[in-house]
Amino acid sequence: MARRKLVYEGKAKILYEGPEPGTFVQYFKDDATAGNGAKKDVIEGKGVLNNRLSEFFMTGLQNIGIPTHFIRRLNMREQLIRQVEIIPLEIIVRNFAAGSMAKRLGMEEGAALPRPIVEFSLKDDKLGDPLVPEEYIIAFGWASQADMDDIVAMALRVNDFMSGVMHGVGIKLVDFKIEVGRIWDNDYMRLVVADEISPDSCRLWDIESGQKLDKDVFRQDLGSLSDAYTEVARRLGVLPSNVTHRPKPTLIN
Ligand code: UDP
């Protein structure tokens, strides 16, 4: 059997050529990185959880009419996706101050923002994904004004959906990142949500305790990342059957 062709290997995922033209297979690795690759580890089971969680969120978005690149999950670590032309931006939506925003503006982590704020970073690891104003994006031709209007509207819809779903399971959606790609149908272009949506690219805090259930657990050495992601998957009812959380044995006197 011919080996399938690797298209691209990133920090947390690999893209292979798909079974039909215009498709890719997206493979979720267990690798975790933070600080633009400065901190690295392998977290057993992370890829399996993120594959399920991204499937859950992308399917949910499609169900409310937000187009995504997702076609179907193939197995524990792989999903079939539409091939898209990725817009080289990280689209970040924030509901509460955290991370780079809290640092840049000297704000307290968790401070509520007056309204959801959408911001953009240029996807460029060498430059450390710098924050870029819309003016740059349009002037340099990374996206048009019409694209940006669509992207902001789409990002805010994704935020409403994700905030609601997470709120329903007692989790606060502090912020998240999405990527958007173009799909061409002859001369007609559509923008779709691409890449992944998972706790790798969101900040998720337990509403009651404030406990972090996202990649900050890894970035800040706060405990077990797989426990945190398993908890998110468990609450959403998407825990894969082979990732079980058995209670630790207790001594009976
Ligand atoms: N984010 C991401 N990939 C990146 C940068 C950020 O998925 O390369 C996510 C991050 O997990 C958080 C949100 O985008 O949910 C905002 O991140 P921030 O700008 O605060 O950067 P950070 O503090 O993560 O460096």
Model confidence pLDDT, tens digit, residues 32-86: 999 888 999 999 999 999 999 999 999 999 999 999 999 999 999 999 999 999 9
Confidence (pLDDT) at 246: 59
Q: Kindly list the protein residues whose Cβ atom lies closer than 6 A to any atom of ligand 1.
A: 90, 92, 98-101, 129, 175-177, 201-203, 215
* Centre of ligand 1 from the C-alpha of residue 177, in Å: 6
For the residues of 39-107, what is the DSSP string, one character each? EEEE-TTHHHHHHHHHHHHHHHHHHTT--BSEEEE-SSSEEEEE--EE-SEEEEEEEE--HHHHHHHTP
Residue 186's Cβ-count burial label (10 Å; 0-12, 13-18, 19+) is exposed
Integer Cα distance of 127 and 129 in angstroms: 6
Instruction: Provide CATH code, domain 6-82.
Output: 3.30.200.20
Q: How confident is the model at residue 1 (pLDDT cuts 50, 70, 90)?
A: low
Share of residues in the chain with pLDDT > 90 (%): 91
pTM for this model (two decimals): 0.93
Confidence (pLDDT) at 131: 98
Give, for ligand 1, the residue of 50, 95, 105, 177 to mutate: max count of ligand atoms closer than 8 Å to Cβ.
177
**Is residue 118's pLDDT more than 90?**
yes
Tens digit of pLDDT for each residue in 135-152? 999 999 999 999 999 999
Integer Cα distance of 76 and 28 in angstroms: 9
Confidence (pLDDT) at 250: 74
Confidence (pLDDT) at 24: 98
Q: How confident is the model at residue 4 (pLDDT cuts 50, 70, 90)?
A: confident
For residue 26, the SS3 value is strand
Residue 234 CA to chain centroid, in angstroms? 18
H/E element holding 191?
A: strand 188-194
Integer Cα distance of 123 and 11 in angstroms: 13
Integer Cα distance of 248 and 253 in angstroms: 16
Three-state SS string over 96-120 comes to ECCHHHHHHHCCCCCCEEEEEEEEE
Query: What average pLDDT does the chain have?
Result: 95
> Which protein residue's CA is at the shortest distance from atom 10 of ligand 1?
201
Give, for ligand 1, the residue of 39, 175, 213 to mutate: max count of ligand atoms closer than 8 Å to Cβ.
175
Confidence (pLDDT) at 87: 98
Instruction: Provide CATH code, domain 85-224.
Output: 3.30.470.20
**Is residue 165's pLDDT more than 70?**
yes
Domain boundaries, the chain: 6-82, 85-224
Q: How confident is the model at residue 248 (pLDDT cuts 50, 70, 90)?
A: low
- Of 53, 48, 55, 103, nearest to 77 by C-alpha is 48
> Given CA atoms 174, 226, 74, 184 in this order, what sign does their dihedral have?
positive
Cβ contact 204:213 at 8 Å: yes
**Is residue 241's pLDDT more than 90?**
no
CA distances from 77 to 105, 151, 156, 194 (A): 38, 28, 29, 17
Integer Cα distance of 39 and 86 in angstroms: 26
**Is residue 247's pLDDT more than 70?**
no
Tens digit of pLDDT for each residue in 179-212? 999 999 889 999 999 999 999 999 999 999 999 9
> Which protein residue's CA is at the shortest distance from atom 8 of ligand 1?
129
Confidence (pLDDT) at 37: 87
Ligand 1 atom closest to the CA of 129, numbered from 1 = 8
**Is residue 243's pLDDT more than 60?**
no
Confidence (pLDDT) at 251: 75
